[in-house]
Amino acid sequence: MESINTTLFLMLNAHALPSPPVLALAIFLAQYLILAVPIALVAAWLRADEPQRRALVGAAVAGAVGLAMNQAIGWVWQHPRPFVMGIGHTYLSHASDSSFPSDHLTLIWSVAFALALEQRTRVVGVSAALLGLLVAWARIFLGVHFPMDMVGAAVVAAVSAWLVTRQMLWLVVPAYRVALCVHRKLFARLIERGWVKA
């Protein structure tokens, strides 16, 4: 399995001196596209109805649960990153912590899969999952992850999304109430003027 992982990595990893536009695109995707997740959740929240807001909160909780699962996996099993093993080319500074699974992709796909499991947010969830593929490619291309790190992230994200949306409503319900309370306090004036939904 490790040899397949390394072979796939070397196929996707950037060669020496990649073109500046491709390198710039990869760095943007690898580092900054993840910021679209909280921004999109907040923006969608402001315009969503109650069922959609519940789905958005569930997606946020799924992201947190997925990251917690990653931490547990990292404590049990450490896997070095490609640059620690001296494999391929690296074009992104990164700590030499465990590479498996990818935290970036776990967060994106946990949110995406949770949204995809709900009928009213399915299109958004599938779209977010497709964006996750770009992040996966970029982080392998830049040399900070192996392909199997992305496979692991997909599995963790799927489990997290299923657990939160199907088995952990006891966690989503109070999280929704807290989010709604914070929303009403932060946007009280805008709600009064009708610019933002209550």
Q: What is the pLDDT of residues 18-39, one digit of tens each?
A: 899 999 999 999 999 999 999 9
Q: State the alpha helices, DSSP H only, in 48-82.
A: 50-76
Q: What's the mean pLDDT in 147-171? A: 95
Q: What's the mean pLDDT in 119-131? A: 93
Average model confidence (pLDDT) across the chain: 92
Q: Which pLDDT score is estimated for 82?
A: 93
Q: Which pLDDT score is estimated for 46?
A: 87
- Residue closest to 96 by CA, chosen among 76, 64, 74: 74
pLDDT at 195 over 80: no
Q: Which pLDDT score is estimated for 185?
A: 87
Q: What's the mean pLDDT in 147-173? A: 95
> In the structure encoding, which two tokens stand for residue 25, read together?
């695109």
- Residue closest to 147 by CA, chosen among 157, 138, 160, 156: 138
Q: What is the pTM of this model?
A: 0.91
Q: What is the pLDDT of residues 50-100, one digit of tens each?
A: 999 999 999 999 999 999 999 999 999 889 999 999 999 999 988 888 899
